[in-house]
A and B are shown apart, each in its own frame.
Chain A
Amino acid sequence: MRPNDRHYLPSHEWIKITGDTALIGITDFAVDELSSGNEGDLVYCDLPEVGRTLEDGETFGEIESVKAVADLNTPLAGEVVEINPAIEDHLEILSEDPWDRGWLIKIKLATKDTSKLLDAEGYEALLASQN
């Protein structure tokens, strides 16, 4: 079971809300799908500038593995207040720990309405339906 302290998008991003801010990352499934389990397969990650305002579902960055470029989408709207400074030079963190050390951006939330997002159970069901 994936962590139940956060919410998910069908495109495999997670958001963990703490107070008025939230961390956003990608799931272990996304990492594995892109990298085939080889941590060296993730080669680039572009993250937004601090201060950028994001709408629900907006693409905030891009990640490239050896074989694919994929968008990074925000589950909720907000303003980017911090990016994980370690990620762009150490993409292996995403393979090692996508849930904690592998967070990508922190946003100041414009909304806390998670009604359109998946919880952990819903995300697991989505993955099960795709296999």
Chain B
Amino acid sequence: MPRTWRLITTWGAPPAFNMGLDEALLERRDAPPTLRFYSWSPDTLSLGYFQRWADVPGTARAGAVVRRITGGGAIHHVNELTFSFSASADDPLYVGKVADSYCRVHKAIAAALAGLGVEATLLCDGAAASDVAGTGMCFHAGTPQDLVWGGRKGVGSAQRRTGGRVLHHGSIKLGTSPLEGDIATLREAAPGLDAGALAPRLLDAFREHLDLAFEVGVPTPEERERARELGARYVDPSFLRRR
């Protein structure tokens, strides 16, 4: 029997709202498990929670910058589909080691990408061909659980675990970014692919491989209000430059 999750889709949302809503969904203990698909307007660079501003030279060239609540490296959110899973830590998606939960999500994504003719695999051992030292960018630092094709990283992920709940951020690259160099993108195999066309393929894969069902929903008024409150922090200079 599949578990029913809420699906919220917000294309082209402002950076503060995107981060604020994810935190609102993470902190609300009685929130239904929720999958978000979203994109960013304007294009935004997000720093990992612990990253030092000075360690990410791309901040000087990015227009908008936020700091995520999740860890990992910086991501330039352009030409991509961003997603988040927020649910209780005892959801079957998250039980066991952190690495195991990554593998579940990434295997499902790999299945969706296979339908586009992209043969994505877990990096496992060794370095990715897209690794670049000194940029602080997530896509320039492969880890064993990362999805790669053509030897290059094409999906970035990070998690936050707090109060018995988990937020899993993911970024799937459709096209290139001037800040991320020679990474793997889906348009190499599927020219013209956009986030709206990729989303249903991901849903099918999540249904099949994660045993999920989805009910299309929207944030509640309370969640929207909380997202606005929380979102302000993500673009506040004192938070952005806290490290």
Interface residues of A (CB under 8 A from B): 11, 32-34, 36, 43-44, 46, 59, 62, 64-71, 130-131
Contact, CB under 8 Å: B99 / A67: yes
Contact, CB under 8 Å: B98 / A67: yes
Q: In the complex, which residues 99-115 of chain B have their Cβ closer than 8 Å to any Cβ of chain A?
A: 99, 102
Q: Which of A46, A67, A130 contacts B72 (CB 8 A)?
A: A67
Contact, CB under 8 Å: A65 / B98: yes
Say which one of B12-20, B157-165, B185-193, B201-209 lies at the interface with A: B157-165
Contact, CB under 8 Å: A11 / B50: no
Q: Write out the residue numbers on chain B whose beta carbons fall within 8 Å of the beta carbon of A62.
A: 49-50
Q: Give the distance in Å from the alpha carbon of A62 to the alpha carbon of B164 in the complex.
A: 14
Q: Write out the residue numbers on chain A whose beta carbons fall within 8 Å of the beta carbon of B97.
A: 32-33, 36
Contact, CB under 8 Å: A68 / B164: no
Q: Give the distance in Å from the alpha carbon of A57 to the alpha carbon of B159 in the complex.
A: 21
Apart from A33-B97, A130-B90, list 12 A-B contacts with CB within 8 A.
A62-B49, A66-B72, A67-B98, A67-B102, A68-B70, A68-B71, A68-B158, A68-B159, A68-B160, A69-B49, A69-B70, A130-B95
User: Which residue of chain A lies nearest to B143 when distances are taken between CB atoms in the complex?
Assistant: A66
B69 at the interface (CB under 8 A from A): yes
Q: Which of A32, A44, A67, A70 contacts B145 (CB 8 A)?
A: A67
Contact, CB under 8 Å: A36 / B95: no
Chain B nearest Cβ from A34, distance in angstroms? 6
Q: Give the distance in Å from the alpha carbon of A130 to the alpha carbon of B94 in the complex.
A: 11
Q: In the complex, which residues 28-85 of chain B have their Cβ closer than 8 Å to any Cβ of chain A?
A: 49-50, 69-72
Q: A64-B71, A69-B50, A69-B159 are in contact. Are A34 and B164 (CB under 8 A)?
A: no
Chain B nearest Cβ from A95, distance in angstroms? 14
User: Which residue of chain B lies nearest to A71 when distances are taken between CB atoms in the complex?
Assistant: B162
Q: Write out the residue numbers on chain A whose beta carbons fall within 8 Å of the beta carbon of B49.
A: 62, 64, 69
Chain A nearest Cβ from B203, distance in angstroms? 24
Contact, CB under 8 Å: B98 / A36: yes
Q: Give the distance in Å from the alpha carbon of A12 to the alpha carbon of B59 in the complex.
A: 36
